[in-house]
A and B are shown apart, each in its own frame.
Chain A
């Protein structure tokens, strides 16, 4: 039993990160009907931004929540700016073209970011400083063998806080209302006097900031960061967004947690039914295919009729 609880904790931990990244995907898709392939790389940029902030500010490992918060905020700001730049210079010019053009552009931007990083700072993984001291501290025992570490607790708490913040922004502020309006119908919102370009930029900024938060938090749990870390995580977060209903914010959170749990449980128990733990990544794709075949609108999404 304690093994199961442990696996669940592990799964929700991983899932919380997917949820943070999925939020960015879902918001951008809701507004632009665009899958931002470069989003996973923004997650990576966030992690590296945090790394370099810590490096230049001279923060070293040590149990300090304050340094973590400073690094977190710094990384989020940098990533928000990067997200806005991508939108302004890469996506906006091709918005009026066909969907395939925007898709190819998104892939191109994603590859560009990754490879610029690899070319400039090398593909060697770096070690993100451990602000929470989890390398030397013992975990908290729950019962039996089940344990939860400080890093995991922090990841949960910060993720939940950020998601609640996002909910508040989207549903309780004027800007949020504008975002929702744009996601319903871009042209109508424009007619209503909303500066759609600004709202789109803001959406990218918020989504990127959340992804960066995911990057920094994940680096506390697994300090190994490298320029290619965003690819697979980004893809799985996309699957999470689809699972929850793309365009739906609570759906993204639900999807992220579910994917994380599914992945971990399949790896943990899959051997009994013949699935090797190396099929871990395949789990997310399998879920995607099932969702798209059986319930394409996702768990919490609503079916949208395609108008001709």
Chain B
């Protein structure tokens, strides 16, 4: 018995001695660029409840990196990515980012999709002074964590406001009902800002119902909404439920159009909802009608490589990596303070999800477009600009405003070409 104890103590001490490292007492010194390859860390939910989101984003990131490397790398340096799975849990997100910045010593971090995970992990990146770019977290708090945290998507307040304006001004709706995902920070955020704006424009919220991601039956909520007789129904949820909601609402005989956000954007949506989706509207990052060759190339390449058409998350993942690469190039290296400044100075970067400018709050300023769903396509309807952004001279007539679009060779792109949902997903309460 005594021998076993001794042996155990010896083993533990050995473990510790191998594991330890020198400390020089200073806290978080800035990572200095040492040349060599550029290491980027990516974290997301690859095996958990929202695995499809994390996997899509990762695919976008990987494709961007491959393209960059094929073109010779950034300033001649190749890029390598370390992919980590956080299983969709905020606790694990913090652990893996801590590993990426402290253990693997990455130069920058990309992630996460869900705001809750981003919020848990961002402090680790901030503390280690490593820039982090979130492709699709939309909660305003994420970038408030610190000056090293950025995002390339728009935030909830803007998107909710966009749809409210559209409903009130374009559709002339006075009565709106809301059906939102209770568990999802993204859905709740959109609901809050839609409500605020819609009421501010003189509208009335006549019914409000909620569901949980993973719910299979919405008929009782929809029946109650039907009884309130709204002009429009705002459903700021994800395509998995929205497809079914559209279906069930038609089966209940509801005539009011459904309005939504970029969470609807996925080829799966049509499979789930089919013809019942016709006549609804969503706000999104840009229009599929956009004939921009860059977008078509992205879609074609992605489809060929992954055997599935890209959804909005993949496109945002792709753009986040490209924004990072562009910043590294401008900064001349991966020195973290210089890199942070370079990212902050991103202006009118042409991504597949629109023209990206980073504002003083480290959020992306992009106009939003409203698209109408018709016959398995998202058809461009109108563009709504954020406050302080002036529309170009040819006001509103062109799709995908905000960045130069080639002459309208309008061949209708497939549905798959619509990218960019801003996700701040949460987990269902299935267990």
Interface residue ranges, A against B (CB under 8 Å): 3, 6-7, 10-11, 13-14, 61, 118-119, 122-125, 127, 130, 134-136, 138-139, 141, 145, 147, 149, 151, 218, 221-224, 226, 228-229, 231-233, 263-265, 267-268, 271, 276-278, 280-281
CB atoms of A135 and B247 under 8 A apart: yes
Residue in A closest to B217 when the chains form the complex, CB atoms: A14
Report if B276 contacts A (CB, 8 A).
yes
CB atoms of B220 and A11 under 8 A apart: yes
Residue in B closest to A137 when the chains form the complex, CB atoms: B251
Most chain A beta carbons < 10 A, residue from B52, B182, B253: B253
CB atoms of B224 and A224 under 8 A apart: no
CB atoms of A268 and B223 under 8 A apart: yes
Most chain B beta carbons < 10 A, residue from A149, A229, A267: A267
Report if B265 contacts A (CB, 8 A).
no
Contacts of A271 in B (CB 8 A): 224
Say how far B167's CB is from chain A's closest CB, in angstroms.
23
Report if B221 contacts A (CB, 8 A).
yes
Interface residue ranges, B against A (CB under 8 Å): 47-52, 55, 182-183, 209-212, 214-217, 219-221, 223-224, 226-227, 240-241, 243-244, 247-248, 250-253, 268, 271-276, 428-431
Nearest 10 Cβ contacts at the A-B interface: A127-B271, A135-B274, A124-B52, A10-B219, A123-B51, A278-B182, A267-B220, A268-B220, A149-B251, A264-B220
CB atoms of A124 and B251 under 8 A apart: no
Most chain A beta carbons < 10 A, residue from B55, B216, B227, B240: B216
Contacts A228-B49, A232-B430, A267-B220 known; 19 new A-B pairs at CB < 8 A: A6-B223, A6-B252, A13-B219, A118-B47, A122-B51, A122-B55, A123-B52, A136-B274, A136-B276, A145-B227, A223-B244, A223-B247, A224-B272, A232-B429, A232-B431, A267-B221, A268-B221, A277-B211, A281-B429
A10-B217 contact, Cβ under 8 Å, with A125-B268, A228-B430, A268-B223: yes
Provide the bound-state CA to CA distance between A11 and B237, in Å: 23
Say how far A61's CB is from chain B's closest CB, in angstroms.
8
Provide the bound-state CA to CA distance between A296 and B251, in Å: 39
CB atoms of B214 and A278 under 8 A apart: no
Can you spell out 5 A-B residue pairs with CB atoms less than 8 angstroms apart? Answer: A11-B220, A13-B217, A218-B216, A264-B219, A277-B220
Provide the bound-state CA to CA distance between A6 and B227, in Å: 11
CB atoms of B268 and A127 under 8 A apart: yes
CB atoms of B223 and A222 under 8 A apart: no
Provide the bound-state CA to CA distance between A195 and B274, in Å: 51
Contacts of A232 in B (CB 8 A): 214, 429-431
CB atoms of B252 and A278 under 8 A apart: no
Provide the bound-state CA to CA distance between A139 and B210, in Å: 24
Most chain B beta carbons < 10 A, residue from A14, A232, A263, A276: A232
CB atoms of A3 and B215 under 8 A apart: no
> Contact check: which of B49, B215, B274, B431 meets A130 at CB < 8 Å?
B274
Contacts of A231 in B (CB 8 A): 430-431
Say how far B245's CB is from chain A's closest CB, in angstroms.
10
Provide the bound-state CA to CA distance between A229 and B244, in Å: 14
CB atoms of B251 and A139 under 8 A apart: yes
CB atoms of B217 and A222 under 8 A apart: yes
CB atoms of A233 and B275 under 8 A apart: no
CB atoms of B220 and A223 under 8 A apart: no
CB atoms of B243 and A224 under 8 A apart: yes
CB atoms of B224 and A222 under 8 A apart: no
Provide the bound-state CA to CA distance between A268 and B210, in Å: 11
Contacts of A280 in B (CB 8 A): 211-212, 215
A224-B241 contact, Cβ under 8 Å, with A118-B51, A123-B49, A124-B51: yes
Contacts of A228 in B (CB 8 A): 49, 214, 428, 430
Provide the bound-state CA to CA distance between A278 and B273, in Å: 23
Say how far B243's CB is from chain A's closest CB, in angstroms.
7
CB atoms of B268 and A277 under 8 A apart: no
Contacts of B276 in A (CB 8 A): 135-136
